[in-house]
A and B are shown apart, each in its own frame.
Chain A
Amino acid sequence: MLKALQLEPEKCTGCLQCEMACSYENEGVFNPAKSRIKVFDFEDEGRFAPYTCTQCDEAWCMHSCPVEAIVINPETGSKDVLEDVCVGCKVCTIACPFGTVNYNSSTGKVIKCDLCGGDPWCAKACPTGAITYVDADSTGLERMRAWAQRGAPEPGATVNAPAENEYPAGGTA
């Protein structure tokens, strides 16, 4: 059973421990700027929203890569960047319509969430349960997808379209 990150913004307090854990685990530094998960701050409303890659089935980043540096992790289903293959062309960073692939100028490579190989540190660090690592078909994730799709009048920026979708996740039709 594949698992996925379930993000529940209503539980997020904006403490940024997920960003600290992610950057430390993946980059060896406590530096939110190098985190693959980001907490977005709606400061005038007192709301927060953690957001990261949803590991699309037909991932835009993966297909757009000209050198096959983004591959499916068979264990977790995540789309992982092979740092030794990535040339740093950044095409994936503009192809991902969710804005969750970033260029790391200090390494000259791109970074994105890889679910920490199946043991995501953001979820472990979250003190309020706003980030959990759950079965991918759990109702919470479905709810997130439903909301995401509701916001998009064209079948454009939708989250993680089902595998049998006619078009790549997010759709071009």
Chain B
Amino acid sequence: MQHVVIGAGPAGVVAAEHLRKHDPSAGITIVGAEPEPPYSRMAIPYYLIRQIDETGTHLRKRPGWYEQQDIEVRQGRVASVDPDGDSIRLDDGGVIRYDKLLIATGASPLTPPIPGTDLPGVHNCWNLDDARAIIEYCAPEKRIVLIGAGFIGCIILEALAASGAEVHVVEMENRMVPRMMNETAGGMIRQWCENKGIQVHTSTKVESIEKSGGGLGVSLGSGETIDADLVITATGVASNIDFARDSGIDIDEGVRVNEYLQTSRDNVYAAGDCAQGRDFSTGEYSVQAIQPTAVEHGQIAARNMTLGHKRHHWGTVNMNVLATLGLISSSFGLWMGADGGDSTELLDRDGFRYLNLQFQDDVLVGASSLGLTEHVGVLRGLIQSRTPLRKWKDKLKRDPTRIMEAYLANTHAIGYNSHVFSPR
């Protein structure tokens, strides 16, 4: 049995390790496009502030780990896949045959349709190569314009600001992190950033980037022009699926998969940012492009590839945690609310603390928070277990911070005589 995994990110590496666990004798090959050992893009913001060096970004740190696991890690960019011939072709002409294939090619940043994005000094912030380029600009006296105040934009803000550079953020939506935060929380993140000296421009687009003096001139839809030494574009990502477009494998926004992460071809699976997997909350198939989903997909795909389709996958909970200049935010599931549902929120605007819970009947279906660092994962647990909250829904509506108590009271036996009473 030869398993081939395309992609050396978290989904691919976790999948390869689980393939090995479930199938000790199989051949396992990971094909990664970048020259570095498998690394994590999640760690790049910490590389930018020089908290870690490049090795600190590596997914696995033990020397010889892949050799010990008998996992071959091969550098190469996949040009095409031939599901009829059970093989993939690399852009150097090499051909790799597989019995089972996992597509875990991840995503790439979208370049916004703005004139001038090809100029020197305009970068994405996605891979280590981008980070190396950006780190050169991170210095006092420099002027940086960040296009896009989404997750990636916000998570690198700290690195940009910490360098002492003058930083502008331009977001076409009306608030920061619009895909993760509602207007209240997005507005608070903006205020937090402005208090720390970031210049935030929302509800406006960058119209063009032009050479100007020794640097760049960034023209906004509002008519304003900002001088910059560095422009970073962080306007979303798209699945890396071009190589499979002519393969006959069913492709949409990402590689289409069923509830077993199997593609339209029986022996081809997909996982992570390139897979259009099931969303736990909506039941729909969409690309989530988040670390926890990449890892879960990798585990599940590996199991299904080796042990058969024993268990239906209910989908992954869309969730994110983000620190924007030290302000921590998180969002889970249907944080924006469910049809026919209800909600509660606790707001301390001056203290930059916020907690919003979304219910459907007596089940938690979504949540978002600012400044919450304790027990935040139980929000995921309550959502994913669909635990009926019973009388605890009303208690949470009065005090949303009691999420751990709500979880414990409904899943554990608590208090005197608890061995005879059921949880309630």
**Is there contact, CB below 8 Å, between B292 and A154?**
no
Q: Which residues of A contact B379 (CB under 8 A)?
A: 94, 99
Q: Which residues of A contact B423 (CB under 8 A)?
A: 147, 150-151
User: Smallest Cβ distance from A75 to chain B, in angstroms?
Assistant: 18
CB contacts under 8 Å to B, within A121-173, are 143-144, 147-148, 150-154, 156-159, 166-168, 170, 172-173
**Is there contact, CB below 8 Å, between A87 and B43?**
yes
**Is there contact, CB below 8 Å, between A94 and B377?**
yes
Q: Which residues of A contact B330 (CB under 8 A)?
A: 90, 94
Interface size class of A (residues with CB under 8 A): 35 or more
A47-B415 in contact given A40-B405, A97-B385 (Cβ < 8 Å): yes
Contact with B along A81-115 (1 / 0, CB 8 A): 00001011111111111111111110000000000
CA separation between A144 and B418, bound complex, in Å?
A: 11
> Residue on B with the closest CB to A9?
B414
**Is there contact, CB below 8 Å, between B56 and A85?**
yes
Q: Does A49 contact B (CB under 8 A)?
A: yes
Q: Which residues of B contact A102 (CB under 8 A)?
A: 373-376
**Is there contact, CB below 8 Å, between A156 and B385?**
yes
CB contacts under 8 Å to A, within B273-302, are 291-292, 295-296, 299-300
User: Smallest Cβ distance from B259 to chain A, in angstroms?
Assistant: 9
**Is there contact, CB below 8 Å, between A40 and B408?**
yes
Q: Which residues of A contact B385 (CB under 8 A)?
A: 97, 151-154, 156-158, 170
User: Smallest Cβ distance from B376 to chain A, in angstroms?
Assistant: 5
Q: Beyond A10-B416, A38-B404, A87-B42, list 14 extra A-B contacts (CB 8 Å).
A: A41-B405, A42-B405, A47-B416, A51-B408, A51-B412, A63-B14, A66-B40, A89-B43, A96-B380, A98-B407, A151-B423, A153-B387, A156-B384, A157-B387
B residues with a Cβ closer than 8 A to A are: 10, 14, 40-43, 45-46, 51-52, 56-61, 291-292, 295-296, 299-300, 303, 307, 310-314, 316, 319-321, 323, 326, 328, 330, 332, 373-382, 384-388, 403-405, 407-419, 422-423
The residue that A148 contacts in the complex, of B323, B374, B411, B418, with Cβ under 8 A, is B411
The residue that B59 contacts in the complex, of A66, A89, A98, A154, with Cβ under 8 A, is A66
A157-B407 in contact given A87-B43, A90-B328, A172-B296 (Cβ < 8 Å): yes
Q: Please count the residue pairs between chain A and chain B whose beta carbons lie under 8 angstroms apart in the complex.
A: 212
A167-B415 in contact given A101-B377, A105-B373 (Cβ < 8 Å): no
**Is there contact, CB below 8 Å, between B411 and A100?**
no
The residue that B413 contacts in the complex, of A9, A41, A51, with Cβ under 8 A, is A9
A49-B414 in contact given A68-B59, A87-B43, A99-B375 (Cβ < 8 Å): yes
**Is there contact, CB below 8 Å, between B403 and A99?**
yes
**Is there contact, CB below 8 Å, between A93 and B373?**
yes
CA separation between A64 and B40, bound complex, in Å?
A: 11
A residues with a Cβ closer than 8 A to B are: 9-10, 38, 40-42, 45-49, 51, 58, 60, 63-64, 66-68, 85, 87-105, 143-144, 147-148, 150-154, 156-159, 166-168, 170, 172-173
The residue that A90 contacts in the complex, of B323, B378, B384, B419, with Cβ under 8 A, is B323
The residue that A173 contacts in the complex, of B52, B312, B411, with Cβ under 8 A, is B312
> Residue on B with the closest CB to A47?
B415
User: Smallest Cβ distance from A169 to chain B, in angstroms?
Assistant: 11
**Is there contact, CB below 8 Å, between A95 and B377?**
yes
CA separation between A115 and B385, bound complex, in Å?
A: 26
Q: Which residues of B contact A92 (CB under 8 A)?
A: 377
**Is there contact, CB below 8 Å, between B292 and A95?**
yes
CA separation between A91 and B16, bound complex, in Å?
A: 21
CA separation between A9 and B411, bound complex, in Å?
A: 13
The residue that A63 contacts in the complex, of B40, B43, B295, B413, with Cβ under 8 A, is B295
Name 23 interchain pairs, CB-CB below 8 A, sorted by A: A9-B412, A42-B405, A42-B409, A45-B415, A47-B415, A49-B405, A49-B408, A63-B295, A66-B291, A89-B42, A90-B321, A94-B292, A94-B376, A99-B407, A100-B375, A102-B374, A102-B376, A144-B412, A144-B413, A147-B411, A147-B413, A166-B311, A173-B312
